[in-house]
């Protein structure tokens, strides 16, 4: 098999893995876990191989993989360029970490049907990877359905009102997907093609550039994707659905789902409609950046009001979606670089924070602010890694969170959009308040350990989360710093090539 | 809330109406969708795949990758319903209690069902196999097969249908159908071609490439039919009994 076959193995490994888990996972307690880790490991190895391949030929052009050997536009193709190679690596890496992390927690949360839980886990990852690798707008829809369906099932398997929260998400998610599909339908009827590489020339041809239905298609696709990524004010479904979910589910879904929708938005903007069309024909980029600024402020203020750490993190996700949408719509190189870089860095930060909170919940059975009491003494490693994630979220160098904010703010300044810059700075400030409050509770607040008086010294027993949880958490924290330190390589070696020429 | 909804619907309606003015006329042979790709499929597909039904060749070959994931969507939906409804460890008050007393078995219904079920299944197999030449294929045939089992469960009861087709087997085959699809594609990969390039089978089977495409499509259609059959039945038994598989509607 040639090296290019890695492109399809990325998607097939979790797909075939999920089928095997469903067939054989019930036979033995540990088998489904091992199968999951194995198939995601293969997928991750393939993304690394593809990333190297794409990076080596970044200046030449993207990697095309024709499914069924049918050349586009007659068949479907996967197109891997530096942009989605980066996102694919992020998705495969984080899902592998979460899979390893799920060893103890998933078994506790799923006393029955663990293998079906893992089947859906792998299907969700297969869907997300497929969306990212695809070069066909309808294929993206089909794979969105898979990842969405799997995420509904996983989220519904949570606590308390999880069913109700998920039901809301199903309604919103279905509306979002339907709007996207309707938009794709209009594009097809006006251009006759679904291939992303072919669409821009049709759309920008003299016959179609003024077409009303193409504009309507653009609006429908954008609004559909905004619902999917929980862009303010369409974010109502997210906090409840993600908070109520079981730990492993939220660790998987929170860092990946919204980020993939942001990726699709950027792909549609750059690859299907192209920036000149969006800025000159549509011309509401400033309004969208204002909306993004509002999303950042609203998400941050929402996070301030929460008394549950997980819920607080979900509001931070809403704010972070504002970062990426705003950066992409600024329409300059720095803003787009920031938005693309932030997809990766936000994925890592969110994964690190959710896994740390999950480890604390695993030990205390609670995810309220009170659960943080004494955490630095009881779970020193988890707490230290939580601090790394939090510092990244605030934007302290050398974590990757600092560099994405750097590019985004630079983009805001170049575009002269000071509202967006102000919102970014305000959000950093609020994040600092949020996380230092948690550190304060964790470090100073009195806490009980059986029998010892509060503020007791020396008697506290260190009670860390199991190794299978700490190891992925550690890797995610290290990656936050590694990605931060290799920012210039990522930007000049990968992201630079995915920006449209002449920007 | 209602006013907001009305406003959103009105805005969406205006958008769609504005767009509709701009769309090509119904059945317009000069519309972009009819001239860009259709000509190629109409002229080349029989030569390339030896399947006269162009819908089938587009669905199962040119866009076979999409169709595989459509089958995965169906599989995923089945597992979703299963994982939500069919939980073994739980305390759940019967939502539909008390259920009406079941009147005794209806002999007319049961006899009719017994006559119909084999015919339906035979016809379903024809629909699957004849998808290459006439409307039909794996999805349609699978649905007919699934409804034959549902008819059995409706006219007798779920227990009886489950006795004929155990739940374990249902789940096994639902994954097996998708796996068959993926395996046919993966084999092409190991034979040195791209995923789902059925032409790779030609050398192995000793037939021409177009014939290999035709056979490949038949194989994946059978996979689709198996998955659709099993998921249809699984959805019915889980939904009708609230996940307990004790009694149906």
Sign of CA dihedral A321, A322, A323, A325: positive
Reduced to 3 states, what is the DSSP secondary structure of residue A134? Answer: strand
Distances (CA, A) of B29 to B32, B35, B54, B57: 9, 7, 17, 21
pLDDT of residue B150: 92
Question: Cα A408 vs. chain centroid, distance in angstroms?
Answer: 18
Distance between CA atoms of A89 and A44, rounded to whole angstroms?
Answer: 7
Q: Is the CB of residue B54 less than 8 Å away from at least one CB of chain A?
A: no
Q: What is the DSSP string of A178-189?
A: HHHHHHHHHHHH
Residue B247 pLDDT level (bands cut at 50, 70, 90): low
Mean pLDDT within B66-75: 94
Show which of residues 82-101 on chain B sit within 8 Å of chain A, judged by CB atoms. Answer: 82-84, 86-89
Please check whether residue B244 touches A, CB under 8 A: no
Q: What phi and psi, each to the nearest 5 degrees, are found at residue A134?
A: -70, 150
Radius of gyration of chain A (CA): 22
Determine the angle formed by the axes of helices A467-485 and A380-394, rounding to 10 degrees: 30
Q: How far is B68 from chain A (nearest CA, A)?
A: 10
Residues of B in contact with A186 (CB under 8 A): 19, 23
Q: Do A16 and B37 touch (CB under 8 A)?
A: no
Q: Please indicate whether, in this complex, the C-beta atoms of A190 and B32 are within 8 angstroms of each other.
A: yes
Least Cα separation, residue A483 to chain B (angstroms) = 33
Rounded Cα distance, A447 and A432, in Å: 24
- The verdict on a CB contact (< 8 Å) between B79 and A119 is yes
Q: Are A354 and A373 in contact (CB under 8 A)?
A: no
Q: Check: CB of residue A382 under 8 Å from CB of residue A390.
A: no
Q: What are phi and psi of A308, to 5 degrees?
A: -120, 130
Q: How many residues does chain A have?
A: 503
Residues in chain B: 249
CB distance A68–B197 less than 8 Å?
A: yes
Report how far apart, in Å, the C-alpha atoms of A195 and of each of A87, A101, A199, A465, B198 are.
20, 38, 6, 47, 22
Q: Is A329 part of the contact surface with chain B (CB cutoff 8 Å)?
A: no
Q: Measured in whole angstroms, how far is the alpha carbon of residue A332 from the centre of its chain?
A: 23
- With H, G, I as helix, E, B as strand and everything else as coil, classify residue B245: coil
Q: What confidence score (pLDDT) does residue A474 get?
A: 93
DSSP letters spanning A464-493: PPPHHHHHHHHHHHHHHHHHHHTHHHHIII
Residue A460's pLDDT is 62
Give pLDDT, residue B161: 86
Rounded Cα distance, A295 and A310, in Å? 19
Task: Say yes or no: B19 contacts chain A, CB-CB below 8 A.
Answer: yes
**What is the per-residue pLDDT for A451?**
45
B137 burial (CB, 10 Å; 0-12 / 13-18 / 19+) is: buried
**Mutation target among B62, B70, B72, B234 for the A interface, most CBs of A within 10 A:** B72
Q: How far apart are CA B60 and CA B132, in angstroms?
A: 10
**Stretch B20-41: mean pLDDT:** 84
State which H helix or E strand residue A78 sits in. Answer: strand A77-80
Task: Please give the Cα distance from A355 to A369 (Å, whole number).
Answer: 16
d(CA A243, CA A220): 29
Residues facing residue B190 across a β-bridge: none
State how far the alpha carbon of A462 is from the alpha carbons of A223, A386, A453, A454, in Å: 49, 17, 16, 16
Give helix B209-240 / helix B38-49 axis angle, nearest 10°: 110
Q: Quick one: average pLDDT of B209-233?
A: 93
> A419-443 as b/e, with b when 16 or more CB fall inside 10 Å?
bbbebbebbbebbbebbeebbebbe
The pLDDT, as a whole number, for residue B102 is 61
pLDDT at position A455 is 52
Cα A397 to Cα A393: distance, rounded to the nearest angstrom:
11
> pLDDT at position A89, please?
94
For residue A424, what pLDDT is reported? 93
User: Any idea of the CA torsion for B35, B38, B40, B43, to the nearest 10 degrees?
Assistant: -110
Task: Tell me the DSSP string of B62-121.
Answer: ITHHHHHHHHHHHHHHHHHHHHHH--SS-----TT-SPPPPPPP-HHHHHHHHHHHHHHH
CB B239 within 8 A of CB B248: no
User: Which position has the higher pLDDT, A78 or B159?
Assistant: A78
pLDDT band at B98 (very low <50, low <70, confident <90, very high): low
Is the backbone of residue B103 left (phi > 0), alpha (psi -120 to 50) or beta?
Answer: beta
For residue A70, what is the DSSP state?
Answer: P
Chain B residues closer than 8 Å to A189 by CB: 23-24, 31-33
Q: What is the pLDDT of residues A300-315, one digit of tens each?
A: 999 999 988 999 999 9
Please give the pLDDT value at position B226: 95
C-alpha span between B200 and B62 (Å, rounded): 15
pLDDT at A48: 93
pLDDT category at B92 given cuts 50, 70, 90 is low
pLDDT averaged per 10 residues, chain A (length 503): 84 94 87 92 94 85 89 89 92 94 84 87 95 93 94 85 87 93 92 89 81 89 93 86 87 92 93 85 84 94 90 93 92 90 93 92 83 84 91 90 92 90 94 91 73 51 83 93 89 83 72
Burial of A27-61, coded b for 16+ CB within 10 Å and e otherwise, reads eeeebbbebbbebbbbbbbbbbbbbebbbeebeee
Give the max Cα distance, chain A: 80
Q: Is the pLDDT of residue B97 over 60?
A: no
Q: Does B242 touch chain A (CB under 8 A)?
A: no
- Which stretches of chain B are DSSP H helices? 2-22, 32-35, 38-49, 54-57, 64-85, 107-129, 138-155, 158-164, 167-190, 201-205, 209-240
**Alpha helix (H) residue ranges in A204-332:** 212-229, 238-244, 247-267, 275-276, 285-304, 309-330
Other C-beta atoms closer than 10 Å to the C-beta of A410 total: 18
Distance from CA of B125 to the nearest CA of A (A): 25
Give Cα separations from B34 to A191, A193, B30 (angstroms): 10, 10, 6
User: How many Å apart are CA A228 and CA A135, to the nearest integer?
Assistant: 20
d(CA A466, CA A145) in angstroms, rounded, equals 35
d(CA B169, CA B185): 24
């Amino acid at each position: 098999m040639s090296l290019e076959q890695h492109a399809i193995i990325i998607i097939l490994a979790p797909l075939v893995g999920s089928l095997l888990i469903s067939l054989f996972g019930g036979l033995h307690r540990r088998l489904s876990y091992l199968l999951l880790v194995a198939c995601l490991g293969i997928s991750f190895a393939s993304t690394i191989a593809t990333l190297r391949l794409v990076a080596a030929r970044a200046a030449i052009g993207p990697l095309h993989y024709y499914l069924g050997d049918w050349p586009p536009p007659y068949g479907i193709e996967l197109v891997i360029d530096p942009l989605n190679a980066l996102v694919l690596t992020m998705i495969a890496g984080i899902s592998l970490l979460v899979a390893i992390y799920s060893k103890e927690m998933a078994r506790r949360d799923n006393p029955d049907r663990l293998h079906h839980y893992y089947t859906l886990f792998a299907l969700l990852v297969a869907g997300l990877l497929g969306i990212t690798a695809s070069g066909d707008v309808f294929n993206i829809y089909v794979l969105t359905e898979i990842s969405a369906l799997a995420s509904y099932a996983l989220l519904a398997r949570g606590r308390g009102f999880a069913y109700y929260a998920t039901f809301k998400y199903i309604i919103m998610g279905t509306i979002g997907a339907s709007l996207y599909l309707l938009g794709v339908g209009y594009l097809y009827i006006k251009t006759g093609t679904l291939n992303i590489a072919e669409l821009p020339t049709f759309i920008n041809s003299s016959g179609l550039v003024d077409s009303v239905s193409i504009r309507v298609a653009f609006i429908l696709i954008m609004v559909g994707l905004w619902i999917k990524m929980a862009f303010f004010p369409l974010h109502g479904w997210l906090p409840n659905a993600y908070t109520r979910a079981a730990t492993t589910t939220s660790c998987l879904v929170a860092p990946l789902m919204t980020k993939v929708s942001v990726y699709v938005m950027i792909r549609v903007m750059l690859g299907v409609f192209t920036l000149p069309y969006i800025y000159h024909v549509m011309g509401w980029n400033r309004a969208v950046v204002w909306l993004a600024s509002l999303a950042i402020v609203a998400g941050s203020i929402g996070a301030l009001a929460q008394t549950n750490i997980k819920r607080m993190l979900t509001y931070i996700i809403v704010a972070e979606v504002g970062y990426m949408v705003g950066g992409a719509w600024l329409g300059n190189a720095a803003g787009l670089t920031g938005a693309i870089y932030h997809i990766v860095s936000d994925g890592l930060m969110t994964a690190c924070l959710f896994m740390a909170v999950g480890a604390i919940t695993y030990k205390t059975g609670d995810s309220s602010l009170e659960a943080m009491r004494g955490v630095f003494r009881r779970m020193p490693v988890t707490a230290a890694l939580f601090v790394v994630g939090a510092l990244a979220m605030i934007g302290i160098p050398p974590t990757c969170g600092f560099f994405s904010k750097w590019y985004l703010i630079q983009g805001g300044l170049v575009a002269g959009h000071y509202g967006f810059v102000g919102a970014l700075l305000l959000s950093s400030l609020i994040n600092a308040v949020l996380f230092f409050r948690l550190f304060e509770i964790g470090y100073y607040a009195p806490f009980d350990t059986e029998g010892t008086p509060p503020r007791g010294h020396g008697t506290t027993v260190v009670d860390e989360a199991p190794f299978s949880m700490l190891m992925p958490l550690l890797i995610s924290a290290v990656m936050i710093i590694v990605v931060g330190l290799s920012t210039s390589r990522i930007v000049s070696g990968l992201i630079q090539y995915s920006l449209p020429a002449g920007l | 809330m209602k006013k907001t909804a009305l406003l959103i619907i009105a805005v969406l309606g205006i958008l769609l109406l504005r767009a509709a003015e701009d769309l090509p006329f119904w059945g317009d042979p000069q519309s972009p969708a009819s001239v860009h790709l259709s000509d190629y499929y109409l002229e080349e597909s029989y030569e390339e795949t030896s399947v006269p039904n162009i819908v089938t060749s587009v669905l199962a070959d040119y866009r076979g990758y999409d169709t595989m994931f459509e089958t995965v969507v169906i599989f995923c939906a089945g597992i979703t319903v299963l994982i939500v409804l069919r939980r073994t460890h739980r305390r759940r008050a019967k939502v539909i209690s008390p259920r009406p007393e079941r009147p005794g078995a209806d002999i007319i219904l049961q006899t009719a069902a017994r006559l119909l079920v084999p015919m339906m299944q035979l016809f379903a197999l024809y629909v699957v196999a004849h998808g290459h030449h006439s409307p039909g294929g794996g999805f349609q045939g699978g649905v007919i097969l699934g409804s034959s089992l549902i008819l059995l469960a409706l006219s007798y009861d779920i227990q009886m249908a489950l006795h004929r087709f155990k739940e374990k087997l249902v789940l096994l085959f639902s994954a097996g159908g998708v796996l068959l699809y993926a395996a046919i594609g993966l084999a092409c990969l190991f034979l040195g071609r791209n995923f789902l390039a059925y032409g790779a089978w030609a050398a192995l089977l000793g037939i021409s490439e177009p014939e290999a495409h035709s056979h490949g499509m038949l194989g994946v259609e059978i996979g689709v039919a198996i998955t659709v059959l099993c998921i249809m039945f699984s959805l019915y038994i889980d939904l009708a009994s609230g996940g307990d598989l004790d009694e149906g509607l």
